Amino acid sequence: MRIKLENGKQNELISLAKRNLTWKELAEKLNVSEYYLRTDLFYEKRLLNSEIFTKLSKIIESDFSKFIKLKLEDNWGQKSGGKKSSGRLKKVLKPEKSEELAELIGIILGDGSLYYNSIKGVYAVKIAGGTELEKDYLINHVKPLISSLFNVNVSIQIKGTVMYVSVYSKEFINILEELGLKRGNKVLNNVGIPLWVFNDKNFLKACIRRLIDTDGSIFRMSKRDSNLIRINFKNCSKKLLKETREGFIKLGFNPSKIIMNTHFFLSRQKEIKRYYEEVTFNNPKHLNRLSKIIAL
């Protein structure tokens, strides 16, 4: 059973439950992944199931049932979609510009590619990640994000230690190109952050979150003080590197200069904490790394 609360109440319920806990501790109590809790549930992109709702209510020792608007079966979305379906072939949707769409743009700019194989006549979008650290993230966040935004069939392939989230659709690629992405080699095509994303701070924040999740890293600045950490962003595309740095500045951060045309840092500790609280990390590889370095 899925629980739909009044707008803002799901976020409030999770905030109250987290009051004396870290995200990791709360996720363990709820038996969900940390990024799913912080991204999908906290921002009300997904509904709470009845089990999680009950656990949260017990943690805060308060009854939130008065804020319940609807109780839905777990497969309600599939049933709704089935009633509206006109046949076997899905029509690819062109979504409205949103934070979720800006997140996907950031994911594709970081770890994705758009290509057309003229010999085989295949149009494909692929997003890659490691099977060891990013499997859960790709299957449980990236795949449903694409599916919900565009109403397309999304497949998963594994080759060795690399997992691919793939969509084979000419129409899907055409829409992504209309949104500012380019087919082919991202470096040679000098791909950057689309203007519609860059000009809206909420969209920009969502896009940068995903760029750091894909092409960023976190590490200690000093062996003497394990609490001093640094965020690094590295990319071979000069335009994307430059625009990501400018995006940080637009959001009020003070990144370093671009070093060797390949990377820049965010080193001010107050700004790193602010990044964690306002922008957040959602890829498990960063969250696991961060938990080993410092508990924010």
Three-state SS string over the chain comes to CEEEECCCHHHHHHHHHHCCCCHHHHHHHHCCCHHHHHHHHCCCCCCEEHHHHHHHHHHHCCCCHHHEEEEECCCHHHHHHHHHCCCCCCCCCCCCCCHHHHHHHHHHHHHEEEEEECCCCEEEEEEEEECCCCHHHHHHHHHHHHHHHHCCCCEEEEECCEEEEEECCHHHHHHHHHCCCCCCCCCCCCCCCCHHHHCCHHHHHHHHHHHHHHHEEEEECCCCCCCCEEEEEECCCHHHHHHHHHHHHHCCCCCCCCECCCEEEECCHHHHHHHHHHHCCCCHHHHHHHHHHCCC
Residue 122: CB atoms within 10 A of its CB come to: 11
- The CATH code that applies to domain 2-83 is 1.10.260
Enumerate residue ranges in the chain where pLDDT < 70. Answer: 35, 73-90, 118-120, 222-227, 281-296
Residue type, position 95, single letter: P
For the chain, domain boundaries: 2-83, 99-178, 195-293
- Confirm whether 99-178 and 195-293 share one CATH topology: yes
Q: What pLDDT is recorded for position 199? A: 94
- The CATH code that applies to domain 195-293 is 3.10.28.10
CATH architecture classification, 99-178: Roll (3.10)
Look up the pTM and report it: 0.67
Residue 108 in tokens: 């594709």
Give 104-135 pLDDT, tens digit per residue.
999 999 989 998 876 667 889 999 988 877 78
Report the alpha-carbon angle 20-23-27, nearest 5: 105
Residue 248 in tokens: 């940080």
Residue type, position 148, single letter: S
Longest Cα–Cα distance in the chain: 64
Q: What pLDDT is recorded for position 254? A: 93
Q: What pLDDT is recorded for position 292? A: 57
Q: What pLDDT is recorded for position 282? A: 66
Distance CA 286, CA 288 (A): 5
Distance CA 272, CA 268 (A): 6
Distance CA 232, CA 215 (A): 9
Distance CA 112, CA 107 (A): 7
